[in-house]
Amino acid sequence: MQQHLVALAVNLQLVGPLVDADPAAAKALLEEMRQDVQQALDETARLAQGVYPPLLEGGGLAAALRSAAVSVGTPASVEVAAGSTCPSEVARTVYFCWLEALERAGGEARATITVREQEGALTFELVEEGARLAAATAGPETRLDRLRDRVDALGGRLTVESDSGGRTRVYGSLPLSR
């Protein structure tokens, strides 16, 4: 985003003298500036979505999870059990775990997520069919440690399992009350 804003500032300085000297060049530069502004706005919206997704509060966990899949470009199915209401910090944690896993999986993967209430906890399971998320779980310190840290911070647990066929299962459980 900073690149687009710096380019915009430079182009604003250049466009003034061009208006009289070369109107066609000034128009072309203004169009380039319009595109830079649009890209900066798009990046700002993506950043804001990553900080706190408004759809999570307005549309609920199921809508936010589906929206995350669409924004990342991963074909996904989402099943959130009817009546699954939970504290906002639990919903945010499930959402960000899902988003992180989807971003790691990439667009060529296929994913499913199931969210249910069970015995005073919200459980969620992500199953991803593809090699990228499985590769992200390899090694002593995996790239999915942030997910585990998020869940641990709320007193929950997270398990990540991968098989040789490129299928990865991320299973988490978060207490609904502390």
One domain for residues 85 and 32: no
- Count the domains in the chain: 2
Domain, as residue range, for 84: 60-175
Structure token digits, residue 5: 């804003």
Higher pLDDT, 146 or 79: 79
Assess if residue 119 is contained within a domain.
yes
> What amino acid occupies position 126?
L
Q: Lowest mean pLDDT of 85-94, 96-105, 112-121, 144-153, name the range.
A: 96-105
- Cross-strand pairs, 121: 118, 175
**pLDDT per residue as tens digits for the range 121-173:** 999 998 888 755 555 555 545 667 778 888 999 999 998 888 887 788 889 99
One domain for residues 94 and 18: no
One domain for residues 25 and 64: no
Sequence-distant (6+) residues with CB within 8 A of 91 are 56, 61, 64
- pLDDT for the residue 178: 65
**pLDDT per residue as tens digits for the range 22-73:** 999 999 999 988 888 888 887 776 665 555 677 787 788 888 888 888 877 8
- pLDDT for the residue 140: 44
- pLDDT for the residue 52: 60
Interatomic CA distance for residues 49 and 71, integer angstroms: 10
Q: Are the CB atoms for 117 and 84 separated by under 8 Å?
A: yes
Q: What CATH number does residue 154 fall under? A: 3.30.565.10
Segment 75-79 mean pLDDT: 86
Assess if residue 8 is contained within a domain.
yes
